[in-house]
Amino acid sequence: MSSRTWKRPPLIKDTTWRYGLLALMALYFVAAFFSYDVNWSRVYEGLDRGWTFIKSFTNPDFTTRWTDISEGIWESIIITVTSTVVGIILAIPLALGAASNLAPKPIYYLARGFIAVARALHEIIVAILMVAIFGFGPLAGFITLTFSTIGFIAKLLAEDIENISKPQAEAVKSTGSGWWQWINYAVQPQVMPRLIGLSIYRIDINFRSSSILGLVGAGGVGATLNTAFDRYEFDTAAAIIIIIIAIVMVLEYLSGFIRARVQ
């Protein structure tokens, strides 16, 4: 007696298509890879410079440029805190508008459109534009990060709002509550842990970004870092990077701790 065999049905039924697509992908990958033009003698020279940079981490120089470093770090922290707070405050109403279960269609599309733009533009691109408008300095960085915080929080918060429990929402609505009461009693309690988690995560992201935006002149410790590289002061650059890593690690630890608490 022959037993019935079974195989998992393939994703693409047609064998020609299935293997043809695989072969094409492999071909493209190989071709793409070999399009890199590697100048091996340049790499050989660069290894030396790279090694000096890495070695400088064993001997970071915090003191020579300490005034510049501390000013840069403070500026980054100021940008981080202000842009995160303002961004979240502005993101909340936008998230309400971008949640399909709350907002009427026109408002929904408007809010989703704004979010799409805010998320499509990378911070560096926005920062270049803001520097062009507001000039060099932390104000440009603050506005840049506020803008991208709005897009980030609003999108993810709106998704959480769309996933709230419908019976809970119905129950509060059925008592004769007004719209804002309904938001406050039925929606807010359900999305609060997510909002807190996202906010803390965003502090982390904004601090890391604020230490990069200086490269295009939007304030923060990035400017100091850039200057250090330009002057080949790798020991000062190493000091700055170590401070950034330390702060990010502290934030990471804090965010884990707080997120575990708010569930």
Partner 1 sequence: MLELKNLGKRYKTGDDALKGVNLTIPNGQVIGLIGPSGAGKSTLIRCVNRLVEPTTGTVILNGTDITKLSSSGLRKARREMGMIFQEYALVDRLTIMENVMSGRLGYMGFWKSFFRKYPQSDIDEAFRLLERVGLDHMVDKRADELSGGQKQRVGIARALIQQPKVILIDEPTASLDPKTSRQIMRLISELCKERQLSAIVNIHDVALAQMFVERIVGLQDGELVFDGAPDELTPEALTKIYGEEDWEATIDDVDEGEENVGDQNT
Residues that bind partner 1 (CB under 8 A): 165, 167-168, 170-178, 180-182, 184-186, 189-190, 192-193
Q: Considering the complex, what minimum distance in angstroms separates the CB of residue 183 from partner 1?
A: 10
Q: Which CB sits closer to partner 1, 183 or 212? A: 183
Q: Which CB sits closer to partner 1, 69 or 198? A: 198
Beta strands in 114-201 (DSSP E): none
Q: How far apart are the first and last CA of the chain?
A: 57
Q: Considering the complex, what minimum distance in angstroms separates the CB of residue 187 from partner 1?
A: 9
Q: Considering the complex, what minimum distance in angstroms separates the CB of residue 63 from partner 1?
A: 50
Distance CA 98, CA 116 (A): 11
Q: Which CB sits closer to partner 1, 14 or 170? A: 170
The DSSP element (H or E) to which 90 belongs, if any, is: helix 66-97
3-state secondary structure 199-218: HHHHHHHHHHHHCCHHHHCC
Distance CA 105, CA 97 (A): 9
Q: Which CB sits closer to partner 1, 57 or 182? A: 182
CA nearest neighbour of 153 among 110, 113, 115, 107:
115
Q: Considering the complex, what minimum distance in angstroms separates the CB of residue 260 from partner 1?
A: 16
Which structure tokens are listed for 21?
A: 């697509």
Q: Considering the complex, what minimum distance in angstroms separates the CB of residue 171 from partner 1?
A: 4
Q: Which CB sits closer to partner 1, 196 or 248? A: 196
Distance CA 158, CA 92 (A): 9
